[in-house]
Amino acid sequence: MFHDEEKKLYKLKENYDNIEIPQNLDDFIIKGIKKGQFSENNVKTRKMISLAASLLIIIFITSIVISPAFADFASRIPGIGYFMNFFNYDKGIQAALENDFIQVINVSDEHDGTKLTVEGVVIDESRMIVFYNIQTQEENADIYLHEIEFLNGSGEHLRAGFVYSPPIFEQENKSFKGTIDISFNEETKITNNLTMICNLVINEKNKEMVERNINDIDSYFSSVHKPLWDREVNGLFKINFNVDTEKYENLKEVYELKKEVWVEGQKFIVQRVSIYPSRTEIGISYDEKNTMKIYGFEDLRIVDKSGNEFSSITNGITASYIGEDGIRLYLQSNFFKHPKELYLEGSTLRALDKSKNKVVIDLEDQIIIEQPDGRFELSNLVENIIDNTIGIEVKYEYEVPVDQMNRFIGVELSHTFTDERGVEYTPRNSGSSATSTEGKHIYTIYNRFDRVEGLGRKITFKLTNYPKTIKAPFRIKIK
């Protein structure tokens, strides 16, 4: 069996090496983003950084390492191509696999000729990765998960962040394979029994897409926020499965550091490093006296004595906010390596002067009157007199070096905005998209909100991510 699976993997590599990448791949990737959100302090106040980690749909296998544990897993789960992609680009998950840390599930639910199977999970106290498979009688169509929920054994919704990308069609087994990345927090209650609930939606291939009318704001925003599918599969999919929580109980290493770091006059404190089998958590707080708003880190990594690096996760949630001045960053894990020495290194932070950390829009003149660098444009503003709403579209464009075209840093506005009186509002709808063309990245941000009495003419959004950096190398000893 081992040799059979090994042959399949090498055949898979040959197939990937010959893949022709479409020129508009970025557009397909962006359309496939599904962002998960949770809050460390208040579940109702949701904030999450879902970065380019979940964008990669096609990954090339450059080397293949097969362990007996993986061969055993592969023998019980046919069509391992997608999973091998995932493992090969996350050192922590690959090591977890080599140490038999994956739990085989193989539980299914079927409706209307379509079967959804939870094939296996990698789970610890910090994270759960669900590997699923969809078999359908539909021909010439793509199929996606929609409205996913997870319940614990008490019937409570898991308070966690979710990220999932469109599944990939696995030719040999005529099925779709994908992963769901679930990020736990202190409020997540995991039990031995879990339930996954979702709908499946179908999008027919080669079907012409109807262009939306920008002046029809309801149609416009529904097309932004509602996935473009043709129909739903009849029936609600519900899969009950068991996980062995004792297998990962207390499997973590926690290092309390409280080390101060200065970068171009800005201070942050590395509070602690927690290493789990699936990932490493870096808890960081920013000094409230900083003159710049720090959005995140570009090159944070863990390095052992031999120079082996464990950098940011490339296929899942990479960070979450902790209040206004804290962040929890997620790196690849070296839990199973047991190095004698370990360091945290980096040099580049995304940051912007706090006085420039806003975008102010004049609703009457329909222009942006305050912004950091002149690259923001109010590309559309539509008032709907029927439901008394205003829809705005803001674009941000900047040049990117050729070797970084596939690396989306992101430009994000706050989920709420304030009027001239300081009153805070939450839009009815909000969202964003990103595209790349001719050495440029273009970000488009959408909001639709009520035209309430007293709103006034000026509204202000805060920036929550911005592609401006500050640099200074730093190195902290973890152990």
Do 183 and 95 lie in a common domain? Answer: yes
Q: Determine, yes or no, domain membership for 32.
A: no
Please state, in angstroms and rounded to a whole number, the distance separating the CA atoms of residues 477 and 382.
54
**Is residue 413 scored above 50 in pLDDT?**
yes
Do 136 and 222 lie in a common domain? Answer: yes
Please state, in angstroms and rounded to a whole number, the distance separating the CA atoms of residues 391 and 446.
7
Instruction: State pTM to two decimals.
Output: 0.77
Which of 196, 228, 247 is at the close of a domain?
247
Q: Please compute, for residue 203, the number of CA atoms within 13 A of its CA located in the half-sphere on the CB side.
A: 17
Do 131 and 197 lie in a common domain? Answer: yes
Do 278 and 242 lie in a common domain? Answer: no
Do 331 and 394 lie in a common domain? Answer: no
Do 343 and 376 lie in a common domain? Answer: no
Tally of helices (H runs) and strands (E runs) in the chain: 6, 29
pLDDT for the residue 278: 96
Do 174 and 260 lie in a common domain? Answer: no
Q: Which two tokens stand for residue 126?
A: 């910090």
Please write the tens of the pLDDT for every residue from 259-277. Answer: 999 999 999 999 999 999 9
Please write the tens of the pLDDT for every residue from 48-80. Answer: 333 333 333 222 333 344 555 556 656 665 555
Domain extent, residue 181, equals 71-206+217-247
Do 102 and 233 lie in a common domain? Answer: yes
Do 282 and 230 lie in a common domain? Answer: no
Q: Determine, yes or no, domain membership for 419.
A: yes
Please state, in angstroms and rounded to a whole number, the distance separating the CA atoms of residues 194 and 184.
14
Q: Determine, yes or no, domain membership for 60.
A: no
Residue 317: which of 30, 25, 37, 29 has the closest Cα? 37
Do 347 and 407 lie in a common domain? Answer: no
CB atoms within 10 A of CB 228: 11
Q: Please compute, for residue 102, the number of CA atoms within 13 A of its CA located in the half-sphere on the CB side.
A: 29
pLDDT for the residue 57: 29
Q: Determine, yes or no, domain membership for 40.
A: no
Dihedral Cα 297, 298, 302, 305, nearest 10 deg? -130
Do 309 and 331 lie in a common domain? Answer: yes
* Beta bridge partners of residue 283, listed in sequence order: 272, 328
pLDDT for the residue 174: 81
More confident position, 99 or 223? 99
pLDDT for the residue 56: 32
Residue 133: which of 165, 198, 177, 166 has the closest Cα? 177
Do 182 and 264 lie in a common domain? Answer: no
**Total tally of structural domains belonging to the chain:** 3
124 in Cβ contact with 183 (< 8 Å):
no
3-class secondary structure, 243: coil
Helix axes 91-98, 81-88, angle to 10 degrees: 120
